[in-house]
Amino acid sequence: MTPDPPSGRRIYGEYEIETMIGKGSIGKVYLARHRRIGRRAAVKVIDPDQRFEDDQDRDEFYRRLQREAELCGSLQHPNIVTLYEAGYEDDVVSFLATEYVAGESLQSRLRRTRPLPLPEALSIAADILRGLSYAHDHGVIHRDIKPANILISNEGHTKITDFGIARPLDSSLTGVNSLLGTPNYMSPEQVKSTAVTPRSDLFSAGVVMYEMLSGVRPFGAPELTGILFNVVNLDPPLVSDVNPVVPQPVAEIVARLLAKSPADRYESAAAALKDIEQKHMEVRAAAEYATVAAMHDSTTPLPTIVDEHVSSEPQTASPALTGAGATPMGVKTDTRIPPLIKRPVPAVVFWSVTLLLLASFAATVSTIRSRIRQQQPAAVITPQQAAIAQEKRQQLRSARALVANGRYGEAIARYDGYLAKYPEGAVARTERDAAQQMLEQSTNPTSEITVARKKPHQREEPPRKKSRWERFRKWVKGE
């Protein structure tokens, strides 16, 4: 049953409430429909039971709502949620009707996947910076950029919501020197209650980027005082050190956004957007190149990859790993035909037999190879498969990085999350068991990690050498 709005009302202005979709510190958010034109909207109803210290506190609260409603009503941008209408009762704002975004918040997205795939994270970051650049150019500072205030539509577009409606952390809502924002995403100047500029939003955007790319919050701590101390004093490690998948240039962009002094950050959101767009284009081009190469080179023998993949998916050796002009792993480069017999024979007899064999089998070999190629199904990789494969690689690399740093408990938790989503992952399960053994070894020095060793004086049997006839048959088949 749909929860009723405050006081049992189901009509606000021309908007009829359908269902509740969220709850904030100053009220609830409902999905509503305009009774005359049928347009859907997200209606934020201000809680009439909002508690205030005194009448001055109450007046300041509603003045701020009115001021921000006027500012946000003037913002029209694809990456900003549009304010449709502000409703009034007794000359104070009672509800705000905004654009309804069908999708999910970035906060919900991060709950399902941490970290995000690199192309997706850069795309979201670019949209955030586009919205902030427009808002800053129109004199509006958000002051509360965080995953909960970033919406991702079903079409993949990112929009910033709740402009200018900062969340109070103490009893005063907008008093002088008050602390406004969300601790994990606040800038140092917000923590110190000094003057806030557009570069404060850039710091918060950098925190969001760090979390998307690494899966962790850069200033996280068990208690509020620890978080605020870290925001002001702690320089987090480069995001590329936490997640090796992130390129060094991208990590440097995030580090510049997280500079403690506003003067050391980007001068504007537009300047940061320029660098992010450049890196996003490079990452997207590399991903498209790899996908196209895999789709059009499905007959090339491929190297074995440790990461979890569906065996039928085509893959190609990365030019960055093999070098320009290098031969991909697993491709035969020696096509010489070995002699068919060992014992010496006259040269005339040898070459006569060889030429006859080549002449008689040349057409057959060509026909066989042609038919084999025609019968091989074209391997096709979809964008969804490529995204899943990339996500698997990132999660495994992140877990391995934690193991390499001796953080076995966190690595085990990362592996458990991976296996919960991909229970068929044999490699992840093996690595998880190894991390568990390392954790037990570190906590109990008397325990031992079992290592498979060869028995003394036990020799490995050399592989059986294939006969010349077997090698010739494989050459004819093109193997």
Catalytic positions, written as ranges = 144
C-alpha span between 206 and 145 (Å, rounded):
10
Please enumerate, as own/partner, the contacts of 412-419 that have beta carbons within 8 Å and a separation of 24 or more: 412/436, 412/439, 418/392
C-alpha span between 57 and 50 (Å, rounded):
11
C-alpha span between 280 and 121 (Å, rounded):
9
C-alpha span between 303 and 208 (Å, rounded):
36
Query: 3-state DSSP call for residue 325?
Result: coil
Angle among Cα 405, 409, 411 to the nearest 5 degrees reads 60
Asked if 87 and 95 count as a contact pair (C-beta separation under 8 A), the reply is: yes
Using alpha carbons, select from 101, 50, 47, 93 the residue that is nearest to residue 71: 93
Q: Name 111's Cβ contacts closer than 8 Å, sequence gap at least 6.
A: none
Reading the block at residue 293, the tokens are: 């190469």
Query: 3-state DSSP call for residue 172?
Result: coil
